[in-house]
Amino acid sequence: MLSGVSSAIAALRLRLRRPEILIIAHGDVDGVISAVIAARALGDDPTFLFSGPRSVHRTLATIPPGSGRIVLVDIGVNANRLDELERQLGRLRESGWSVTWIDHHQWPDGAVERLSKYADRVVVRPAPSAARVVLDELGGDGYARELVKIADDADTATYRTELARMYRPLTRIRSRREYLLRSLLEGRLNDPKIAEWGTESMDTEKRAVEEALARAEVRVTKSGRKYALIDLRPRGGPGSAVAKKMAAEHGVSFSLVIYTCGRFSLYAGAEKDINLRPICEEADGGGHPYACGGRIRLPLHKRVLCRLLGRRYTPREIGELVRKVEERF
């Protein structure tokens, strides 16, 4: 119900504003930076929307008929959404929109060809970040190249730079993500508010990582791989940071992070060439071979129990996910 209301509000706003340029981006650091580089390259005053591979078909459905330009950046495609994406892109193109889609994720076989029939331009190729592909395709100045370095650092989960570490928690809160977007558009990599929020968030994250590490389990898969099971229920937390620590301290091949009863992610650890993506795709998710996420489908009564009981209650579906991971790897 809430998602339906949100979609209706988004559609109304778009109808009222009637943007000439609409940029749709993933909501992480790479997505924000990709949107900034695209906006600076295209000029004018674009409208921004944030979406992801599981929801982009619904985001496209909120866009009314028009004659402007839609640019999607850093958003992959799930195989089970292709039919709906074709319908929505076809509708938009027929109404007058031109569509450009730029990404660096691995797309399902044939997906680029199918969606290219309804878009003016679809560019999908491997790169450390989508921002790097956006820069190559749309162009940019020295400032854009500096932004790409931050996006590369964040999207490969290297986090060597303070700015990448600072931006990551800001993107999880809508108001702060939008503030970050506007600041970067105006050329302010590190204004006082970003520095304040970022420092505060990094301190909070450090404590959360230490607490999660104390609870994390080192387990072994059917083939003998060592992996980490990290349970961050009920509210989630810095899963990728915990996974990185588990790889460094325990040499695990990968980590399975249970963020909530309905959401999980897999992160590569010591075994860098492992392909984790198929498990995520089977769970209506996607991402990279080395970092991806998916959904855990639960009936309403189990979602309520999860919310009320937190880690004291583990639904059967989570156990099934753990078994699948252990058997597959």
Residue 4 has a pLDDT of 46
Do 157 and 275 belong together in one domain?
A: no
Distance CA 319, CA 163 (A): 37
Do 27 and 111 belong together in one domain?
A: yes
Residue 206 has a pLDDT of 87
The predicted-structure confidence for 279-307, as pLDDT tens digits, reads as follows: 998 998 888 899 999 999 999 999 999 99
Domain enclosing residue 279, as ranges: 216-328
The predicted-structure confidence for 262-280, as pLDDT tens digits, reads as follows: 999 999 999 988 999 999 9
Q: How is the chain split among helix, strand and coil, in percent rounded to 5?
A: 50, 15, 30
The predicted-structure confidence for 68-89, as pLDDT tens digits, reads as follows: 999 999 999 988 899 999 999 9
Number of domains into which the chain is organized? 2
* Residue 206 within any structural domain of the chain: no
CA 146 to the chain's CA centroid: 21
Do 183 and 262 belong together in one domain?
A: no
Residue 200 has a pLDDT of 87
pLDDT at 193 over 60: yes
325 strand-pairing partners: none
CATH value at residue 49: 3.90.1640
pLDDT at 15 over 70: no
Do 196 and 230 belong together in one domain?
A: no
Least confident range from 28-32, 145-149, 179-183, 271-275: namely 271-275
Contact residues for 193 (Cβ-Cβ < 8 A; gap 6+) = 179, 183
- Provide mean pLDDT across the span 93-112: 95
Strand locations in the chain, DSSP E?
A: 21-26, 47-51, 69-73, 98-103, 121-124, 217-220, 226-231, 254-260, 263-268, 286-287, 291-295
* Residue 296 within any structural domain of the chain: yes
Residue 235 has a pLDDT of 83
Residue 1 has a pLDDT of 38
Mean pLDDT, all residues of the chain: 91
Domain boundary among 173, 200, 227: 200
Do 60 and 146 belong together in one domain?
A: yes
Do 226 and 280 belong together in one domain?
A: yes
